[in-house]
Structure 1
Amino acid sequence: MDFGEALNIRMDEFAAACTQCGKCFEACPMTGPAGIGDAEPKMVLSGIVDLLRGNAGNAEAESWASACSSSGYCIEACDYGVNPRTMVRLAHFASTRLRDGDAVKGNAMKSFRAMAKSVRVISRLQLDSEVIDKLQPPPGRSRPQTSPDVSFYTGCNAHKTPHILILCLEVIRAMGFTYEVVGGPTACCGVFQFLSGDGETSGRAGLSTLRQIDEIGAREKLSWCPSCQSQFDEIIIPNHEKMTGDSDFALTPFFIFLERHIDQLEKLLVLPVRKRVALNERPGYPGVVRAVKRILQSIPELEFVELNVPRAGLMSNYLTVAPKFKDELREQEFKAAADAGVTTLATIFHACHRELCHFEERVAFEIVNVMELIGQSMGVKAEDVYKRLKMMSEVEAMMDDCSDLLSRHGLDPNEARDVLLADQLAAKPLQGRFVENDRR
């Protein structure tokens, strides 16, 4: 059995298991933003099942599948043990494959290459070659004879904010664990190809990365990126089990690993962090949010504040399909944080940090990643160069700031300028009464 056959079998299984009751649709936060909030839930689910069976479905089902932000509220809503998030993702894959036909491979290649170029350029405008090689070790590298305690799978796009990954490795090391890193575009989870409807290439990429991680032989296999975690949990690992019968492979989200070893971590959290902190939460992996809150509450003198605001999306960029909704959620969160008098809004994931960090100059609080707070309590720091660049008003100022690294890495200035411009425009400046120039 190959990967494509495994995908088809799983789609058939989901289609047979779904009762089309519609409760998952009712729990979804994206139906209104997608313009299908008034649709009849059972009719939409009938279309989802039709898509899974290789047919055209209906317009509402296609809209819902396209709008899925992987928030995960649908999972608890299902009374029949079906994972609706996976089901809808598979329906979107089937719809894209049917619609684009022979174009899927070209679309997948274009999507992957755009990501790889962006990661290559942006990471090299922040780091020298030695650090890049540590964070993105090439496949087939020589390994020590003894397997490490931990393999740390970073994914691809996290390398745009490398200070986060550097801090993760510092924490793993300080806790007394040995580790090896797998990451960068040569260790792709296959999500870009999957979203383009190319199951064959997605499977080849994801299974290759699975082997890279597994061959390290570490006792614990950790992941950073929730998008990669979801792709492995819902697509790559179940298909691998169908193909091989092997059910032993699993990835553990990084923060859940830290919570599991909280006694060791707490011994390192010794320096006070006198900040009033709110969290930029994402509901897709609630166990990760729980773990992060537990860790923050272990930091001396840090005051944690809960914000009562709507949450959606696996990461911020998963809401791009509904830009108005995305902006509204961000404004509500910023207002709630300002009203609560926080000094700090902490992001959990890299994509959220990329899209929010530059608003720091426009709001009354700092915007940092939670790893920076952990590092501060440990006495460890890694500069957020990405935020420094993104807060610059002109791309030419970014180019000047990075001129030394631009030259050392032999990057094409025109290519770098185009990548920086595209990334700088990932989020629009925020307007609103709670936006302040002065910082608390």
Structure 2
Amino acid sequence: MNRRELLAFAGAMGLIPTARAFAAAGDLRGAAREAFIYCLPLIEMAAARDRMLNDHGDGQPAAINAFRPTRSLAGPKNRAITTPNNDTLYSSAWLDLTKGPVTLTIPPSGDRYVSVALLNMYSDNDAVLGTRTTGNGGGRYTIVGPGQPGSGANVVRCSTPHAWLLARILNDGPADLPAAHKVQDGFVLHGPAGVAPPAYATRKSSWQDYFASAQRLLISDPPPATDGVVLRRIAALGLKPGGGFDPGKLDAAAAREIEAGVAEALPSALRRSAPNVVQGWTYPRGDIGWFGQDYDFRAAVALGGLAALTPPEAMYLRPVSDSGPGATLNGDYRLSFAAGKLPPVNAFWSITMYEATPDGQFFLTENPLNRYSIGDRTAGLKTNADGSLDIWIGRTDPGGDRTANWLPAPAKGPFSISLRAYLAKSEMLDGRWRAPALVRA
């Protein structure tokens, strides 16, 4: 048995404190790195819940187990969630199932796309109800938490006691808002009054506060049994589903190892979760929205696209940079769709512009047209004589008829775009259709 194995064994047997043993063996740094990545979705979900329950600009806190609708499309001032779309109205509810199930009513929506995603606290889509899965006729569903009784076609199981319910209702612009609001008003929740959650640390907090909050979240929303291997690896920190993290038990050497591991965490996760790239576009992996044991990818999506749907519901494409690593752009571009080669969808498609923040998040940006996206419902788009469609993307107004097809970028700084395809057809899902490459204009 070598020194590293001996120290780890001694720690496990209680002969010396576990954290000190793993620090001496060189494993505490790796445990901290892996724990930061594993717990990031919990931290990001808790932070989103805190912002959305408490920061509405109207002085009125939102209630647990009740929908909070947004009555207008997202704009530059909406900063609660990274990478918002500008196509749908949202109705959002944070669930507390610890006192019993809640009942969800979805209204009939005619031919309007709707979806209701049930996200557990680890950011997986436990279920998506609506146009694709349950139809547009509406229905009534019972959402039950872990271990709660319930059976039947209309019972939906959530894998954590707390969850995020996010409804999306397609809107075709200002004139369509009254009709969209009518559908939105039909989304209703009934259930026990939930308990307002406490505040938690964020990813920018000290490692002591970050892991203390992660410990509380692991207790309130226990991880699945299928995460047992990673949980054993991060237990070196004292971080366990049943509790045990105590930074006061860690000496200076252990603290240095943890700080080093935390500093490596996000760069490591982003590097190891590299997506599939074709013609300069990143294509979503099959496990987006239901991540399994790919904790790096789960963390990367929690950071840059929290609440992402699964590919059958929505495909998300983002260009890679043509001037260095990353997904940000910095210039003027043309995107040309050949005649008959627009994104193949059964619902809708759009291209949305975002400013990129230094910490890897994306938000809508002010621009002279007040236009945040272009897509199949954008009025006034001009096609070429051969039926092709050019979209002009960047800071500079292309002028003339091209302005009608201009998606303005922020006046300065890096930016990115996202091509969304809701209910993509099979040729997009299986790769027969590919987005054309961006060309410098």
TM-score between both structures, scaled by the size of structure 2: 0.28
Bigger RCO (CA 8 Å, 6+ sep):
2
Give the structure with higher Rg (CA).
Answer: 2
Which of the pair is proportionally richer in helix? 1
